[in-house]
Structure formats: C-alpha cells, structure tokens
Structure 1
C-alpha cells in the first residue's frame, strides 16, 4: 500500500528579487520554478527521519539518504532503510544500508553520490570519538563493494588513507575519481580513485596546502573587517562542471571557491554574508543546459536556494525562505538536478525532499521570515 509522505499535494510558483554582486552585472535572467513537496511515495509502514542527501542516477531515479536514528515512536521494522531509491514518478523502488558485516556504517549519515555503473558512495559526519573517518561504496542492489578509511583513524589533513567526517562526494566517471569535501574534521578537498580508493591529491582554500592543525572558527565579523581566511572552515559541498571546473562550498566562510581539476584556484563568490545565519553555502548543483549556466547553492542556515551565474560567479537571486509550505525550506542541505532540470532538495529540519520544477509562470513571493540559527546537520 502506498501513501504520500505528506498530507496534501501542493504546487506553487515563485520569482525572486535579483541580488547582484558588487561590481558584477548579472548576465542571466532569474529562473522560475514550481514547487512540489508531495512527490515521493513511501510504503505506508515505513517512516523516515532527517533527509540529508539526494542524488539522481543516469535513469533519472532519485536516491535519498536519511537518518533512521532520528525516527521516534516506531519499531525498527517500521523505519525505512537509510538508502532509498525512487523512480521517475516518485514511487519507492527499494531500500538498503545500515550496519552490517565487513564494513563500518557511519554513526551520522551525511551524503551519497551515484557513479555511472550504479555504485553508491556514502559519507558520515560524526566527529566524536570513533568518528566517521571512512567512505563506503555499495552497488545498486545494496551489496558492499569497498571501504576507504577506518572509523576513528584520521590523523588530520595530511592523512592519505582516512577522511575525517567528510561532508559531500562527487563522482567523476570520466576521470574515474571521487572528489570528497572533507570538511567537518578536516579543511580540505581530497580526491580518491573511483575504482581502487587510492589517494590522488588534495588541496585547501585558494589551492594551498591544507593547514597542519585544525584552525579555530572565524571571528563573527571577519568579512566586515576585510579578512579573507586562507583556509577552509566547513568544506561542505563539492560539484564538478562539465568543463572540468570544481566548485567547493566553504560553509562557515560563506563562499564558493572554484578550482581546476588539479586544485588551481580560479575565483570565488560569496553567499549571503550579511544574512542572519553565518552558516550558508551547503550543497551545490547546476542547471542542465549544455553550458550549465546556473549554479544553485543551498543556504542551510538561512533556508533558501541561492542562484549564481556560473560564468561570472555572481549572485543573481534567491529562492524561498524559512517555512513549511511548498517553495519554503527548513534546513536545505544537499541538492541535485535531473536530466530535465528538476532540482531536488533534501531538507534536514523539514524532513522532506522538495523538487523545484522549471516553470515560466512566476508570481511574487510572500515576505520572508527571519532565519533562526540551527544546530550542525
């Protein structure tokens, strides 16, 4: 028996006020979307918790990662497995994952990525003792393939075997590489071989070597006094464009930095530096036109999607604000786009997956509600 994850099907449209960067001229019009919060359909006996990540495969099936431990009031048999697959119509196909023999399951699920061969990569973000210092790979049927690193074994930014509470993963099938935003415990972007898990390279902010020791958090007014930190603090998202440019979200420094595939620094764009929450740039995805003209950035702390002109790295607008309705967000975390340009957003506090469907019928948004700080997702 199938039911919708929420009570009512709600579709809406919105436009957003342009927010050009100082000294930049936006070259692209602001895109418009309809919003659907009722698309996913689950078996009636399975409950889901915090939705933390989404990834679209080559068949436009959506894979979702959630945190079963955040479900309350249900027996284990009535909690959905952490990894779930949905078809193009949002129907539940299968689920798997969780602790098992031969591998170390994360203590706090965080991200997933899909390779062209169907392999599914998983990261965890637990930082405490025995933290999530590993990545896991499963095939599309849920069979364990490989583990990179070991629980609680990280030796820091110079470690070539272990990550340290990695936040996000991007699989480049052409290069046969996995780009990992190793940013809760470390301050780096690290690249592993897709088929062997071997270390290839790493870099920090501005393409420099990551710091030897974990730096402290940035001062609250660092950008107001003109300070541009030379290190990452909260490497949370990573995405590679078709042209080979790698984009890394430095969440606590409210910026996206762009690099060549081998770590040469190119440019950066700041994301909502003056917004109420300093925890901004989280997940990254692109539009599906050949040039990938638009970059969409989930601003987790301020509950919105920021739209960037990828060519000139300028902000051209925002989508949404804090709320429960369609077109509103609560903790937008990691995001992805399918072949039709539909954007999927995993909302941690909202405990849902919302999809943004391209539309040419905009209407004016309601006034924003002031954002409130959230705990680390």
Structure 2
C-alpha cells in the first residue's frame, strides 16, 4: 500500500472515532507527513547483524567518531583506553578471562560490515591523542583524526594505511580561542575539497570554527557564534529561559559543509545548529528541544545524499534520537530511536554518518561502545 493510500485509509477511519481519537490521529498524520510527502521522508530499519564480529579477539571502546568515504566505506575511531578490566581481560597479567583485546583505534569497514583495515595509536614522528574524538576521510585519500583529552589540542593527518602525514597544533596546553596555531580539544573536522581547506569544530576547549589549508596546515580564518570574534570569558550554565548565548558553548561538536557552500555547526549544549557561509558570515540558526539540559540536544549532523541535500540528520545524544530536519527551514520532518541498549536504540548517540545509498551509521560513547547501521526503507533519494 502506498503512503497516500495509507493516509486515505486513516482519514476514512476518523469518522468512526471519538473526538479525542480524531485529535490523536490528526497529530500522527502531521508528525508523519511533515512539510514533505511521507514517501520522501527518510525512514530506516536497524541492521542488527552489522558490523560483522571483529577478528583477533578485538573489542571496541567508546566510539569517538564515524564517517563514510567516497567508496562507501565506513571509518570509525574509538577509545581503547576506555575499556574496563573485565572487557579487556585477555590483556591482563595474568589474563583475567579469554576475552578481549582492544582493537586499534582506527577501523575501516565495507557496507556489509567486513573489517578492511585497522591501525592507529602512538608512533614515530607524531603525538597521538589522549582521548580519540572525530574522524574524517577526504577525497584525496587522507584520514584526519583528533582528540579531546586535556592537552589534545591538535589534529593529525594520515594516509589510508595509517602513515603519518601532518599535524596541526600540538599536544600541549591551549592558547585560547583566538590563537591561530594551537587548537583547543577539537571535536570534528570537515573538508572543502574545492578550496583544499579543512574546517575544525574547535571544540571542547575553544569556542570557534577554525579553517586551515588542508595541504600545508596554514591558518586561513576563524569565527565564533553569529560569525563574531570568539571569547573565552566564562559563560553561565545553559538556561532555556535566558536569551540565546552570543558565544558557542563547549563543545562546538560538529561542522559540516553542504554543496551550496553553507556550513552547519553543532552548538551542542545550546541546543542549536548555526548556519554560516564559508567566510564565517552568519546566515541563520535553529533550536531543537530547547528545554534539554545535561549534554545538550545537537551532537552531530549528516547531510542527506540526494542531489538537493534536502535533509539534515542530527544526532541527539541526550534525548537519544536522530532528528530528520528539512535543510531549507530547519523544521523537523521525523525522527527515529530512543534511549536503550537494544538494536536500534541509543545510549549517548555521539556521531552520525550517511552513505550515498541513504544508509545511516551511528556511533555511541559512554558504556554502549558500539556502532550501528540503519538501512533506508523509504523512497527518499529521488
């Protein structure tokens, strides 16, 4: 049955319902249909068998980032040091149990869940981060990673096989939100391939987006909330009744670039997405679940892969859901997920990515320590 036939069947049934039930059905229809036709809104089902079991007795820790490359391969970075003794019992002296061994921090999977590559950790010529956070794979075949431990004020660039290429910033104390060389616990990166620039959501320590040349590492520009000069002045705790903050809160948790040049920034604890042009000019902002406290409602964003990039998918790790947002006006077209640890549920859904076929990949931190795949079930790529 088509979505239109479903809608007609529901409407015909309204005549036999009580007044209260009529209101409930009408609310359901509006929430389902949104500003787009139902068949055009992305819907998903969880693939509980993805990914396939890891080899070598490996186990994942907290997952600090996930992304999809140009081949449709899924890359993730996790935190081996977040594993508890009972999880990594096979590595203890003497061994506590038969399982398990921490997997290398960076792993690459194909769309079927097969592990293709694994590498990462300390090595010669660079400073590895203290707590892994964020991963991006650019179209030139380089992998960018970062961290958010106390002095993780750098991002690292590697080849696909894990050969070190370049480091921007240092594993050393931050110098603040207006320093042009040192970072501040960066959360995520995005590549503008045409300009050969890397955008950094910077981050857990600083209050800005900063842009560098992706080949040389040279500084280009930076900005704070509303495109203003960022400040490191102490900010009051988030209050949904207070005027909107004029600064990004910590963390500035994501940055994404659409084909039309708009730049989307996750101001996580302020429960908003701010939109900019590439030069840092402020365009607009959208708020979501404004009463959310704790760790905030806007953790990550992925851009829908149709030609018009009609939707944003936004991970909300406090409310543990994925929102489907109309990119034109910021209205919410739908959502999926809820709190829990079963397949298809979330506990601190931390990062999100989408492949060219509309399949969604999610990463969780805290004690969930997993990645999940959600297959597209609607005709939303036309």
**TM-score for both structures, normalised by structure 2:** 0.83
* 1:36 positional shift: 1.6
How far apart in 1 are the matches of 2:269 and 2:186? 15
Correspondence for 1:68: 80
* 1:19 positional shift: 8.7
- Identify the structure with bigger relative contact order (alpha carbons < 8 Å, sequence gap 6+): 1
* 1:37 positional shift: 3.5
On the 8 A contact 1:186/1:214 being kept in 2, the answer is no
Q: Secondary structure at the match of 1:202?
A: strand
On the 8 A contact 1:17/1:317 being kept in 2, the answer is no
Q: Is there any run of 5+ residues in structure 2 with no aligned partner, and where?
A: 1-26, 93-99
- Relative to structure 1, the CA distance from residue 203 to residue 78 in structure 2 (aligned partners, 3 Å threshold; closer, same or farther) is same
How far apart in 2 are the matches of 1:71 and 1:296? 29
Correspondence for 2:47: 36
- Relative to structure 1, the CA distance from residue 135 to residue 276 in structure 2 (aligned partners, 3 Å threshold; closer, same or farther) is closer
How far apart in 2 are the matches of 1:337 and 1:89? 14
On the 8 A contact 2:323/2:336 being kept in 1, the answer is yes
How far apart in 1 are the matches of 2:37 and 2:281? 26
* 1:217 positional shift: 3.9
Residues paired across the two proteins, number:
335
* 1:275 positional shift: 3.7
Q: Secondary structure at the match of 2:81?
A: helix
On the 8 A contact 2:269/2:293 being kept in 1, the answer is no
Q: In the alignment, is residue 352 of structure 1 matched against residue 373 of structure 2?
A: no
Q: Secondary structure at the match of 2:160?
A: coil
* 1:115 positional shift: 0.8
Correspondence for 2:337: 320
* 1:318 positional shift: 2.1
Q: Secondary structure at the match of 1:253?
A: coil
Larger helix proportion, structure 1 or 2? 2
- Relative to structure 1, the CA distance from residue 269 to residue 121 in structure 2 (aligned partners, 3 Å threshold; closer, same or farther) is same
| Structure with max Cα Rg | 2
On the 8 A contact 1:19/1:317 being kept in 2, the answer is no
Correspondence for 2:16: none
On the 8 A contact 2:289/2:297 being kept in 1, the answer is yes
Q: Secondary structure at the match of 1:206?
A: helix
Choose from 266, 272, 287 the match for 2:289. 272
Correspondence for 1:26: 35
* 1:109 positional shift: 0.3
Instruction: Give the superposed CA RMSD.
Output: 2.0
Choose from 128, 152, 157 the match for 2:172. 152
Q: In the alignment, is residue 246 of structure 1 matched against residue 263 of structure 2?
A: yes
Q: Secondary structure at the match of 1:341?
A: coil
Q: In the alignment, is residue 337 of structure 1 matched against residue 354 of structure 2?
A: yes
- Relative to structure 1, the CA distance from residue 217 to residue 111 in structure 2 (aligned partners, 3 Å threshold; closer, same or farther) is farther
Q: In the alignment, is residue 205 of structure 1 matched against residue 234 of structure 2?
A: no
* 1:18 positional shift: 8.2
On the 8 A contact 1:28/1:309 being kept in 2, the answer is no
* 1:58 positional shift: 1.0
Q: Is there any run of 5+ residues in structure 1 with no aligned partner, and where?
A: 1-15, 362-377
Correspondence for 2:66: 54
**Range with greater deviation from structure 2 (36-45 or 265-274):** 36-45
How far apart in 1 are the matches of 2:49 and 2:30? 30
- Within 5 Å, give how 1:273-312 maps onto structure 2: 273-275=290-292, 277=294, 279-312=296-329
Correspondence for 1:374: none
